[in-house]
Each structure stands twice: as C-alpha cells, then as structure tokens.
Amino acid sequence: MAEIENLEPDLEELRESYRSGKTKEASWRKSQLKGLLTLLKEQEKDIFKALEQDLGKHYAESYRDEVGTLTKSVNLALSSLKDWMSSRKAKLPIATFPSTAEVFPEPLGLVLIISSWNFPFGLSLEPVIGAIAAGNSVVLKPSELAPASSSLLAKTIPTYLDKKAVKVIEGGAAVGEHLLRCKWDKIFFTGNPRVGRVVMTAAANHLTPVTLELGGKCPAIFDSFSSSWDKEMVIKRVLGGKFGACAGQACIAIDYILVQEGFAPTLLELLRNMTKKMFGENPRETKSMARIINKKHFLRLKNILDDPSVQSCIVHGGGVDEDNLFIEPTILMNPPLKASIMTDEIFGPLLPIITLKKIEDSIEFINSRPKALAIYVFTKNETLKRRIISETSSGSVTFNDAIIQYAADTIPFGGVGESGFGRYHGKFSYDTFTYEKAILRRSLLTEFWLRFPPWNDFKLALTKSAYSFDYFGFLLVLLGLKIYS
Amino acid sequence: MGVTPIKLNFCIFFVNIIIIIKYKILLVCLIFQREGKRLLIDLIVVFPRSSISKSCCGRKSSMAEDSETKKVFDAEAAASLMKELRGTYASGKTRSYEWRVAQLKNLMKIVDDHEKDILDAIRADLSKPEQESYIAEISIIKSSCTRALGELNRWMKPEKVKTSITTFPSSAEIVSEPLGVVLIIGAWNFPLLLALDPAIGAIAAGNAVVLKPSELCPATSSLIAKLVGKYLDSSCIKVVEGAVAETSALLEQKWDKIFFTGSGRVGRIVMAAAAKHLTPVALELGGKCPVVVDSDINLPVAIRRIAGGKWASNNGQACIAPDYIVTTKDFAPKLIDALKHELEAWYGKDPLESKDLAHIVNSNHFARLAKLLDDDKVSGKIIHGGQRDKANLKFAPTILLDVPEDSLVMNEEIFGPLLPILTVDKLEDSFDMITSRGKPLAAYLFTNNKKLKEKFVKTVSAGGLVINDTVLHFAEKTLPFGGVGESGMGSYHGKFSYEAFSHRKSVLYRGFAGDASARYPPYSDRKLKLLKALLSGSVVGVILALIGWS
C-alpha cells in the first residue's frame, strides 16, 4: 500500500504539466507522437518477446494486431494533427447577426486510460495516441494480467515520451481502485462490463466523462455460398477472425456463427479443412495461435467445455493442455442456448455454430440478445445486407470480413448498449479526448432592443412577427399601423 | 437615455435588402435608432418561414385543471412503462422517417396552438414575463423543430467514408441509428424548453421517449403532460410527472440514454444510476459563468447585454446567466453607474413592483439566495438593490462590489438576481481567477482588444464562450451547447441534438477479390514483411513483398 499512497505527487506533476500549457502546444504533441513511433520501431523485438511471453502470440500476429496497427495510427495522427487541431467555423443562420461562430477543439486535461490484457500494447497505446494528439496529460494503467507487456510499457514510455506529462502506473485491482478515486477529466476504459460499471460509478462522483470499450457476443451470420473461391476466402476470414486474433480472446472476435440448416454440414467441412491448413494436424504444435492468458481464464473455458450438454456438441478439436494453457481450435454444433457458452462472452478459441431455419431468422436471434460490439455478415445478398443494417443494432457491421474494421481509421470503433459507449480510432480518438468549445463572437456596434425589458405588448408583437418570419407584419407594427394588443 | 418603449423620439428608418443565399430570401431591416446622442444600428434578420401556419394565440383551452387523483408512479409502474415502450420501439415504428416528421410537426403544433396556455402556465409557475417566455422558450422550440424538419432527411443519410489500402478493397459508411428508449429529465427554470428541446433531438433520431418535466413548475409540467399526450404518439412518447420518488423509480430502469438538465449534485446521482445499466448520459449542468469587462467598450450596449443575460433571463435563474463580473478597478465605478441606470430604466424605482421581473421559483431557493446575501462577508458590499419580498418571492436585482473570494456567494452557483463585481488591476489577471475555479458552462468577455480575445479563447475553458454578448450562443443551432468538467458532459442543439440521441454505427463492406494471405495463419517471416507494407499503406511495399523482393 505504501507504493499506492505515493501516487499523489505524480498526479500533481501531471496536472502541473497540463496547467503549464505545454501539452497544448502542437510541437509537444508532435514530439510525443514521434517518440511513440520511435518506441514502436526500436522496441519492436522486445514487444514481440513480451507478447510471446504473456500470450504466446506469434510475432506476425503481434505485428498485425499491435505494432503494425499502432504504427499506422501514429502516422495518421502525425499527418493529420494540424487539420484536427484547427478550429471549425460554424455556419450561422444569422439569427444572431452580425456575429461569427466557431468550434474550438480543446484538450480535456488529465486523462486516465485503463487497458486490457488481450492486446496489451494495442489497447494501451491506441487511446494514448488520441489523448496525446488532443493535448492531454495521460496516466496509462496497463493490465496486470499481461505482466511482461505491462512492465515493458512502464520501462520504455518514460524514456521515449515526456515523463512529466505521460506516466505509466502498473498494478492490479487495488491500484485501479485507488486511481478511480482520483479526479480525472476523462476515463477511457477497455475491459469487461462488470468493471465498466465500477469505473462509471466512480466517475460519477467527479462528473467525469467516460468511454467504455466493452465486449459482447459478436455473431457472424454465414449465408450460403456457391463459388469455391468465395467459400475459401470467407472461411479464411472467419477463422482469422476467431482463432487468429489472440485465440479468440478479443472483444471483436467472432463469438458464434449463425447458419442456415441446410448449409451447416458444408460449412463445418470447410471450417475443419481450413483449420487444419492453418494450424496443422496437431494444433498443439502450432506457433500460429496464442495461448490462454492465465490459469483462471483457462479454467473458465475448460468449465464451459466440461458441461456435458456442451461436451457432446464438440465436432472439432476440444483438446486442452493445462500445462501450456493451450486450448485447441474447437468447433461446436448447436450447443444448448441456455448453456454458458451461449449466454456469456466466450473470449477463447471455442466456436459454436447455431443453425437456423432461414438465414433471415438471424435478425431476430441477434435482436433478442444484448447489443454486440460487432456483427459480421458473410453474404452476397444485398437485401439481407440492408436488413441487417437497418434492423439490428451493434457497434459496427462488417460485411464479408472480420476484425478488419479495427484497422480502418475512417470509421469509429466503439460499442452501443452492453458493448459500451464512446468511440475511437483515427480522428475519433482525437475527438474522444477533446472538448469542442463553442465560441460566439459579436460586435458591439449593433443592438437588438427587442431582447430587453421593460416588456410591453409592442415588443412582444414585434418579436412574434420576427420569429414567425412575418416581416410585413413586423414593419406594420413598427410603423404603428398594426394593432398589437 | 435607455431603451424605454420605442416612441417617436427614435428616428427609425428601414433599409430592406433582399439577399438570396442558398435559395432562401432574407430580409434585413436596418433600424437606426437615436439614443441620446448615440446612433445605434439595429439589424434584425428574418428568415422566411417554411410552411408553418401562423400561430393563433386567441384559441381557448382550459388550463390544466384535471384534478383526478393520480396513481403513485412507483418502480412497478416504471417497469411496466418501460416494457410497453420496449415493445413499441422493437416494432420499428419510431425508426421510420414519416413517424419522426409527423411527431415533430405535432410538437410544433403544440407550441403554435397553445401559445397562450404555455405563457400562462410559465407565468403561473415563475411569474416570468410573456416576452421572456416567448423569446427564450417558445421561439427556440419552434426554430429547433423547423430546423429538424428541414434537415432530418440529410441527418439520416449514411455518411460515406474513404478506406485505405490496409483494408483494400472495401468501402465504408457510418450509419446513424436510434439508441432505443431514452429518458429526458427537464429543469424548472425553463420548464418547457428544457423538456421539449432535447425531446426534439430524441424524436428526430427515432427513439421512444419518456419526459420528466420539473415538478417545481407544476402548471407547466401538467400542461406538458396534457399536450404531449394529446398531440404526440402516446405509444412511444410519454410524460411522467413527479418529484424525487418518481424520478428514482424511473432511474432504476435500464435506459438507452439519459439526458439530464439540472444541478451537479443530482447529476452525480443520475450518472451513478446510469452506471448500473451502462447507460450513456448527457448532463447539462451549470456553474459560475464569469463576465470579463474591458474598459474600451461601447458601454451602453455591453450593459444591456449583461443585464439582459442576467435579469431578463428568468431573473438570473438560468444555467448560462452571468454569475459574476470581473473588471478593472478603474472601470468599475463607470460600469456600476451604467448598470444602475439601466436597471432603473427597466424595472423602475421599485423593482419589487415590476411585472417585467420573474420571481424566485420557490421559498427554498428564496431562502438560499437570502442566505448568500446575509453572509457577514457580503451584506456590507451591496451597492445596489437588495430589496426582497418573501411573501411574493420577489427579489430585486442586486449588485455587490468586491466580495471576498471565500464568501458563499463566490463559491456556489448563484442562480438568482445577485451580481457580484470583482475588480483586478490588470484584466489578464481575471483569466487565472476564472481557470482556478471549476469549468463553467459559459464565459463572457466584452472587449474590442483583439489580443485579449485570443488569449481568452485560448486560456479559458468553458462550455461555450461568447465575446461581446451573453447567453446568445444558446440560440445558435450550429454551435454545440453543453458543458465540460463541472458544467457537465454531452452537447445538443441543432444537429448535435440528433447526434446526442443517435448511435453512429460503422459499416464496412468487403469484396472477395485480392485478399492478402499474410493475414492468416500459419504465420511466417514473409508474411510479416507483407503485413508491414500493408499496414504502412505503401503500395510499392506491398508489391515488393508479394514478389518476394524486400
């Protein structure tokens, strides 16, 4: 606890840095972003090593999901910073003529970013990029469940970034609680809904705005395909979106597949074959799939599988290796909807397939469950596409691919309902850590005397005709030609 | 001097200029008005009305007199209300463009057809002058509705966005969708506006809505309940009247958004309740809005704008009303003289008798204001006003000079007719004074000094800044209205209202051609190279990696 109590001077230093105004300078923001870029370049090997250690991620996967995506985001922020920082003129409909109005983006102050263990670099630094670009001072609390990554962040960030304005505070739940008691200007949280509620309740004490990036069961609707090229392509994308992203331990990983009854056997066959191609005959040997983060999560997943009614549904894989915290890519056919595999977010390499009479029934299936962070739809049917967009609700919808929306900067990334609120990535990251200050400039030349008391019927009549755009009546009233009582 | 009712001593003439901007015709009336020796130019710019029928204020309608015994609105009632609304929302009814337009048109009808009832109700609750209610409530609701009706089509259109080589080939768009069932909690100071203005956004965005008007304005609250029930689709838009018990019952439900206008204390309760259900909130709170006054200004105009924002907007009971003035020591006497003069011209020798001044909402607030004034540190600092009439809840415009910074009146939002004036040696010092307090909802500056303006914009953090006027940004639909820090979170007005009640869903379309196998396991070094090229967006790099050169 002694260590926790020492936080206050650190936080005061951060607040002071913000107050001094240096973080608001474009040059500071730029230098920090460049520092981040250098960090990613110079520490690439160490980052790969830490991810290998924490999650058994292959370095290609680490690059694709973390280092590479981050590099792209920093570059985007660097090249767009000037544009983002400029204030926007608001068009005036001249009700307040003569005046000008603009919206001036302003940093929020001192922000807290609490990140998650599944993408310990990506989910930590992606929001940091936004927070720095927006000119805030930042505290980052990486997840203690990925210790190697957390300590690498704590070690490297102070050497590459301004340590008076950006700090990493490591620790578990106790540190988290302590941090939440402090007053922040924004809290950006990635994690599960249970902790999300705790974060928001704590934030309410200080009226701190929050962004909650949670998860949820992301469905993949799989329509029938006939062309073998299409089939191979989409199957790859499905498996990449499930087992390829941190072994399914991703908030936007495919959670389950919805498919039409008749097509299910074909789908299963395709999935089996491609799984073998990707992870080999003996998946325990593969280096291409991550392991489970820790014993607790491993046991949680094992328990899901051990339920007899679920066990009997396994149609592929199912092997577990407790020593190496590895679970084989596992496919299940129609597990009971009441079992925990279909009620809770899976967050692991188990892939249930649910069959439906008609693929259109998937809309009702999805709508009867909490709103997901992402919906994936593999189809060529334009009507189905339109219906999914307008009749379901989710953070995002991706057609004919999975996960890749995470790398698209022009669309916002974030949830709705149970999957959280607030959005980031690209310019949206900047906006998340920015307050848009409205500015109205008036001249002192003119006056609109109708605005002021003492009130009388004359003024009311004038105001009414002004507001009802009856300018002829307005003139009549002014000239005393119209009776206004 | 002063702007007493316009009589013939004003030399008035009009210059009508017809400007065509974007197919709209504006009529600009220039009114030159002689005021003492000063010549002022007034410009009133009027937009053509779209298709709104002229309001008929003479229509009779019985005021809310329904004395039926009301059932208690408890948790059970809230749950069944929610169930009903979830049902209608799920039916998809509220999502159609036609439904939204019909509701907005009917909302417009409410204020058109019942203008007199509304003015009467607000007069009954707050004894607010009709002109004030008209300017600050009815007209703003009308213009919000008109704008929403005119632009809804455009707001609802998906926004196409570009995609990069990283996700090539693909296309993307952002589609806005309603959030679901939303709760709007209004405040008493603008009882109609703060309930219906957010509702316009919620309806335009296609949500089912529950409105909880403030119980401190019973006449307006029951009028809203009656009219909304009569004019709007009661299967999707409901009004729940009540106080703490009813609000608590409502807050226990799971909403898809809560939009709250009120105090920071209740705001915290609302947000904590929302946290249980992970419900996003917009909190429109208040704060101490400062007015910085420079000496190089057109004083009569500035004074009117300050006094107008303070006393002519519900007698200071507004979240964006000027809370205190900061000016230089030298300029303060001039400023005070002018203020006194203006106040006398507006409200007469005895402001307690004036019909043009709203009263204090209730005895609690009256006692709170009396306490602020009776503070030992403050009571000797009154330089104007101070009269009050407890029985009629009347409180005169009161000016205080140089109250200590640690006095009560400088440490809570005043929300009433007291106006402390603080003096500094150099005007720049006022910025530190302002930033050392919580972030206010609005900050005002009167100056002609360009440098000072820029410094103000850069250093002062507030929901909105207005230079050379007060409160006017509220009427500006192209500006987001909302707070930051202690003054709240989330913004609305115009399109921002629509966005406050919408979820912006990302939609990414991918084709089947040209897929990089590098994305998929089994991984290798070559795949890593290709990925690097793909993510850096380098076309050449991609080609080199593909043919195995790099």
Collect all residues of chain A within an 8 Å Cβ-Cβ radius of residue B118.
none
Which among B431, B507, B530 is the top mutation candidate for probing chain A, defined by the most A β-carbons within 10 Å of its own β-carbon?
A: B507
Q: What is the pLDDT of residue B70?
A: 54
> Taking a contact as any Cβ pair under 8 Å apart, which residues of chain A between 50 and 89 contact chain B?
58-61, 63-64, 68-69, 71-72, 75
Q: How far is A217 from chain B (nearest CA, A)?
A: 16
The confidence score (pLDDT) of residue B165 equals 60
Return the SS3 of B99: helix
pLDDT digits 0-9 by tens, B270-280: 999 999 999 99
A412 touches chain B (CB under 8 A): yes
Q: pLDDT, tens digit, for every residue of B400-413?
A: 999 998 999 999 99
Selected residue with higher pLDDT from A91 and A189: A189
Residue B298 has pLDDT above 80, yes or no: yes
Collapsed DSSP state (helix, strand, coil) of residue A294: coil
**Which of A68, A244, A439 is opposite residue B521, by nearest beta carbon?**
A244
What are the chain A neighbours of B4 within 8 Å (beta carbons)?
454
Active site residues of A: 213, 251
Q: Where are the domains of chain B?
A: 75-285+498-503, 290-481, 516-547
Helix, strand, or coil here: B195? helix
Mean of pLDDT over chain A: 89
Distance CA B240, CA B180 (A): 18
Q: Which fold has domain B75-285+498-503?
A: Aldehyde Dehydrogenase; Chain A, domain 1 (3.40.605)
pLDDT tens profile B419-442: 999 999 999 889 988 988 889 999
Q: What pLDDT, on the 0 to 100 scale, is given for residue B211?
A: 97
HEC sequence for A121-171 = CHHHHHHHHHHHHCCCEEEEECCCCCHHHHHHHHHHHHHHCCCCCEEECCC
Pick A207's closest partner by Cβ from B95, B167, B267.
Answer: B267
Q: What confidence score (pLDDT) does residue B344 get? A: 92
Using one digit for the tens of pLDDT, what is the confidence trace for A400-442?
999 888 888 889 999 999 999 999 999 999 999 999 999 888 8
Interface membership of A438 toward B (CB under 8 Å): yes
CB-based contact (8 Å) between B514 and chain A?
A: no
Cβ contact B78:B181 at 8 Å: no
- The verdict on B51 touching A (C-beta cutoff 8 Å) is no
Nearest-CA distance A32 → chain B (Å) = 20
Give the pLDDT of residue B19: 32
- Percent of chain A past pLDDT 70, that is, above it, reads 89
Looking at residue B167, what is its pLDDT?
A: 63
pLDDT value, residue A478: 57
**One-letter-per-residue 3-state SS of A239-274:** HHHHCCCHHHCCCCCCCEEEEEHHHHHHHHHHHHHH
Give percent of chain B with pLDDT exceeding 90: 64
B40 pLDDT more than 70: no
**Nearest-by-CA chain A residue for B255:** A417
B523 vs A: CB within 8 A: yes
Partners of A71 on chain B (C-beta within 8 Å) are 535-536
CA distances from A123 to A117, A127, A190, A424, B420 (A): 8, 7, 7, 11, 48
- A433 touching chain B per CB within 8 A: no
Q: Is B523's pLDDT higher than 50?
A: yes
Return the pLDDT at B379: 87
Summarize pLDDT for B62-96 with one digit per residue, the tens.
333 343 445 678 889 999 999 999 999 999 999 99
CB contact under 8 A, A279 and B45: no
pLDDT digits (tens, 9 = 90+) for A142-176: 999 999 999 999 999 999 999 999 999 999 999 99
Say if residue B32's pLDDT is above 80. no
pLDDT of residue B341: 92
Q: Is the per-residue pLDDT at B6 higher than 90? A: no
The β-bridge relationship of strands B16-21 and B24-35 is antiparallel
Residue B532: predicted pLDDT? 77
pLDDT of residue B364: 93
Predicted confidence at residue B516, as pLDDT, reads 64
**Tens digits of residue pLDDT in A235-267:** 999 998 899 888 999 999 999 999 999 999 999
Grade residue B471 by pLDDT with cuts at 50, 70 and 90: confident
Q: Which of A451, A475, A482 is the best mutation test for B, with the most CBs of B within 10 A? A: A451
Whether A398 has a pLDDT exceeding 60, the answer reads yes
Residue A314: its pLDDT value, please? 96
Its pTM stands at: 0.88
Is it the case that residue A469 has pLDDT exceeding 70? no
A226 shares contact with chain B (CB less than 8 Å): no
| DSSP code, position B180 | S
pLDDT in tens, B373-396: 999 889 899 999 999 999 999 999
Q: Which of B134, B297, B507 sits opposite A389 (nearest CB)?
A: B507
In Å, how far is B135's CA from the nearest CA of chain A? 7
CA-based nearest distance A471→chain B, Å? 7
ipTM: 0.90
Rounded CA-CA distance A271/A273 in Å is 6
Quick one: pLDDT at residue B245? 93
Element (H, E) at A9: helix A7-19
Q: How high is the pLDDT of residue B103?
A: 97
| More confident: B23 or B539 | B539
**pLDDT score of A460 more than 80:** no
Which residues of chain B have a CB within 8 Å of the CB of A440? Answer: 464-467, 469, 472-473, 476, 479
The per-residue pLDDT for A468 is 57
Inter-CA distances, B148 with A90, B138, B160, Å: 17, 15, 21
Separation in Å, CA of A118 to nearest CA in chain B: 18
More confident residue, A286 or A72: A72
Identify the pLDDT of residue B543.
Answer: 61
Q: Find the mean pLDDT for residues A349-376.
A: 95
Q: What's the whole-number mean pLDDT along residues A107-114?
A: 97
Surface of B (336-355) touching A: CB under 8 A: 345-348, 354-355
Q: Do B521 and A207 touch (CB under 8 A)?
A: no
Position with higher pLDDT, B427 vs B165: B427
Who wins on pLDDT, B135 or A133? A133
CB within 8 Å of chain A, chain B residues 257-286: 264, 267-269, 271-272, 274-276, 278, 280, 283, 285
What pLDDT is recorded for position B31? 35
Is pLDDT of B3 > 60? Answer: no
In this predicted model, what pLDDT tens digit does every residue of B238-273 receive, in sequence order?
A: 999 999 999 999 999 999 999 999 999 999 999 999
The CA distance from B23 to the nearest CA of chain A, in Å, is 13
> Mean pLDDT across the stretch B288-311?
92
pLDDT tens digits along A123-151: 999 999 999 999 999 999 999 999 999 99
Mutate to test the interface with A, among B171, B535, B536 (most CBs of A within 10 A): B535
The overall average pLDDT reported for chain B is 83
User: What six digits make up the tokens of B497?
Assistant: 């209202």
pLDDT for position B438? 85
In chain A, which residues have their Cβ closer than 8 Å to the Cβ of B523? 58-61, 287-288
Structure confidence at residue B188 as a pLDDT band (50, 70, 90):
very high
| pLDDT at residue A463 tops 70 | no
Architecture of domain B290-481: 3-Layer(aba) Sandwich (3.40)
Secondary structure in 3-state letters for A192-214: CHHHHHHHHHHHHHCCCCEEEEC
Rounded to the nearest 10°, the torsion over CA A9, A12, A17, A23 is: 110
pLDDT at A1 over 60: no
- B317 pLDDT band, cuts 50/70/90, is very high
Q: How close A201 gets to chain B, by Cα (Å)?
A: 5
- Active site positions of B, annotated: 284, 319
Per-residue pLDDT tens over the stretch A284-329: 888 888 999 999 999 999 999 999 999 999 999 999 999 999 999 9
Q: What is the DSSP letter of B253?
A: S
Quick one: pLDDT band at residue B51, thresholds 50, 70, 90?
very low
- A120, A54 Cβ separation under 8 angstroms: yes
Torsion sign across C-alpha atoms A400, A402, A408, A414:
positive
CB contact, 8 Å: A356 with chain B? no
Cα B386 to chain center, whole Å? 30
Predicted local confidence at residue A472, as pLDDT: 60
* Alpha carbons A215 and A374: distance in angstroms, whole number: 9
Q: Are A172 and A137 in contact (CB under 8 A)?
A: no
Q: Which amino acid is at B268?
A: R
